[in-house]
Amino acid sequence: MKILIVSDVENKELCSGWDQFVLTHPLGTIFQSPGYFSIFLHQKEFAPVALLIQNENGQVEGVLSGIIQYQFLGPLKKMASRCVVMGGPLVRNNDPGLLAELLSHFNVYIRRHVIYTQFRNMCDMGFAHRNFIHAGYKYEEHLNIHVDLTRDADELWKDVHKQKRYEVNRAKREGLKFGPITNITELAESYQLLKNIYIRIKLPLFPFSVFENAYKVLAPKGMACFWAAYSEGNLIATMYTLCYRGRIYDYFAGGDNLHSHKFPNSMISWQVMQWGKNNGMTLFDWGGAGKPGQPYGVRDFKEKFGGRFVNFGRYEKIHMPILYRMAKGAFKFIRYIR
C-alpha cells in the first residue's frame, strides 16, 4: 500500500484508475474526479492537489482531491490561502483505517501550503466523523437542498411555491427564451454578467479560464452544462451546472438586475430541472443553503422550488492560527472598502 501525491494529470494510466474509482464508489462525486481537478491546472490563483492510495497491484483504493485557493497573489499569497475539498475523501468500503491513513498524510502535506482546510460534505459522512475529529478537524453544520427529479413532472411542479410558479409563468409571458450556451463568446458574455454580480455583492469569483476549461474539457463529456436566459436576443441570466452520475450541481448562477421584473433566475432554475428530468437525471443539488438558524436570502429563493433540506455539514482545520486571524481581518477590510 502506498500513497501518491498528484499535482497533474499527465499519468494517463493513473488517472484512468482514479477516474474509475470515483465513478464506481457509492459516494463518488464529480468534485473528486480527475476531470474536475484538471480545470484548475495552470492557474495562478489555484493549485489542485490529490492524494491517492494504491494497493500492491497498482489499483486505486482511496482518493482525496482538493483545490488550494489563493485570495491574494504576490507577497501576500500564503497569507490568504486555503484548501477546499468537496465530496471527499473516498476510500474502499469506507474503511476507517484507510481513511485515517489518507487524512494523516494529507495533513502533513497541506499544513505547509495553506492557512486552513475545509471539507465540504456532499453526503452523510457520519461514518468518518471520528476520523476527522481525531485528525484535528472541527465540525460545523451547513445546509443544502436536494430536489428529487425521479418524481412525476406534475408532482415536481406542484411542490414549487406558488410565487415561483407565478414567476416562471411570468417569464414565459415576457417572452424569455432558455437554452444552452453553445460557444466561447456566449460563455464570456455570461461570465461578465456573473462578474458584475460578484463585484456588487463583494465576493470573489473564479477567473474566466476555469470556466473556459470546464467548457472545453468537461462539457464534451457531459460533465458540465452552461445555460442562459435571453430577452429579445440579449443574455440576461445564466446558470453553470456540473453533471455526474445522474446528478446536476448548481455551480454558479445569476441574473441581470435590470431585468429582474421578468424573473429570469426563476425561469432558468426551473428549466434546468426540467431538462435534467427529461434527460435521465435523478437529483438536482442546489450546491449549498447556508448555516441553520442564520438568515440567508439565497436559501429563501432555493427552498421555494421544493426539495428537501439536508445537513451534511463541513469539517475545518486551521493550520496557521495567527495567519488565519490576520487573513479574516484583511478579507473583511477589503469587502468594506470595495
- Structure confidence by residue, pLDDT tens digits, 277-298: 999 999 999 999 999 999 999 9
Q: 45 to each of 67, 91, 104, 326, how far by Cα in Å?
A: 10, 29, 26, 20
| % residues pLDDT > 90 (the chain) | 90
Is the predicted pLDDT of residue 251 greater than 90, yes or no?
A: yes
- How many helices (DSSP H) and strands (DSSP E) are in the chain? 11, 15
pLDDT at 78: 67
Cell 441570466 found at: 237
Pairing of strands 60-70, 46-54: antiparallel
pLDDT at 331: 56
User: Which among 271, 89, 87 has a CA at the least distance from the CA of 167?
Assistant: 271
Q: How far apart are CA 317 and CA 138, in angstroms?
A: 6
Rg, Å, the chain Cα set = 20
Q: Per-residue pLDDT averaged across 111-118, rounded?
A: 94
Structure-model confidence comparison of residues 326 and 173, the more confident one: 173
Angle at 211 between CA 207 and CA 213, to 5 degrees: 110
**Which residues of 106-233 form beta strands (DSSP E)?**
116-120, 138-140, 144-148, 177-180, 224-231
Contact assessment for residue 313 and residue 140, using Cβ atoms and an 8 Å cutoff: yes
Is the predicted pLDDT of residue 247 greater than 60, yes or no?
A: yes
Contact assessment for residue 264 and residue 275, using Cβ atoms and an 8 Å cutoff: no
pLDDT at 155: 96
Domains in the chain: ranges and CATH: 2-142+313-337 (3.40.630.30), 145-310 (3.40.630.30)
Is the predicted pLDDT of residue 79 greater than 80, yes or no?
A: no
Q: List, for residues 185-231, the tens digit of each pLDDT value.
A: 999 999 999 999 999 988 889 999 999 999 999 999 999 999 999 99
Is the predicted pLDDT of residue 101 greater than 60, yes or no?
A: yes
pLDDT at 294: 95
pLDDT at 338: 44
Contact assessment for residue 198 and residue 338, using Cβ atoms and an 8 Å cutoff: no
Is the predicted pLDDT of residue 126 greater than 70, yes or no?
A: yes
Q: How confident is the model at residue 1 (pLDDT cuts 50, 70, 90)?
A: confident
Is the predicted pLDDT of residue 104 greater than 50, yes or no?
A: yes
